[in-house]
A and B are shown apart, each in its own frame.
Chain A
């Protein structure tokens, strides 16, 4: 485990150095990514401005969910870009090379490439989270829950990664999974940036099964005093652990079914 982390750090550092070879272009792309992801925020702002509240949540409260989910999404795109592209590994048979290394395959896969410019999105979502928490009164009003919410993107990111591993694993059987990824991952994450309570029942069930609703909505709801029980604060950890176990089992079964490609 410790060895694995050491290797991972080393590979991140190499990729970081490669990105910095073109410093100016790197900074510009972070800047653009920041503003590009601000457009997501504009959509939220527009909706809430025209209706004042959404499902009984005001702008700052939604901003907390948005920030938590947004940080998870952007961290995923930064450090999980190879999962985003995973169908290509399977279709072109490039996964062969991953399996030839004497390390856990997911570690090797995830250390192949990083899209550091997407840290711009992390900055943007982080700013939204901080501003929303500030607007809600900061630590004076929220007390320890302020710090809970600041750390919530951690479990959120872990859940988002686990979901994306499960969906990527489907490529081992079905090859092309872009549609599935778009529907079950990106659309679901987008939907989870709002309070899940605004959606019809079938969609709430879907968002619970996938289980993006535990990334932001469930814990934020209780932490901001909008209902639920203290359980809601622990659930994300349990869900994160369970989702990872299931995802890793699926990944392993997928590897055994991997067909590579003709050469």
Chain B
């Protein structure tokens, strides 16, 4: 009996795991291997190149490149602006939606969510247009150069926020809807209303959802690529190695340095793993207390 159920368990998990190994693990292992080799040509380079073992050379090169390290600083600055804006903004909007005063909730949710259904590439076309001085009605209205070097970070944050805020609002709102009615009633009886009800009672109830959204926002930030790449095409104030992921891609496709690209990618994945491990660990400890 037990054996049969064990067999079923394996059969249930196997299809996913097989695909997972084929599509993610095998290529990842390949990338890990790739990161240990480098291609060497000689002279003018018009003869054949050979692949030589480089050990940790590619990792050293990536880490000692100021452009690569600078990318992490950009990410840190980006997180500093984006994380509170996204999580805080989504939370506030969700609370507003959840408040009794809000009208047309379904329509509003849909309106907020809509940008998420727009493919990144199409978002690119739209935003580059809206950021371009001379073309954009917004630039003229705000007298703000979105593409100036001091502003691009915010412009990137804006695109990401536009694409993702509705998504987080829906998650938070769904969580708020699931908060047991009795608890809210009890709190109201105790005299909690408005802001206090929202922040002292409701927010703690959906903490898990908030932490989760925050975690994914950070993981997404580490892998930041599409939005700055979009701006990079239109304005050089976002450099080709602005974020670590862009660095990896430039290394692979502009410099044909696959070893370096693979090493950089492994480092990015490693940082992501460490960070999310730390976050889950910290939140797990807090909730078990």
Q: Do A and B bind each other?
A: no
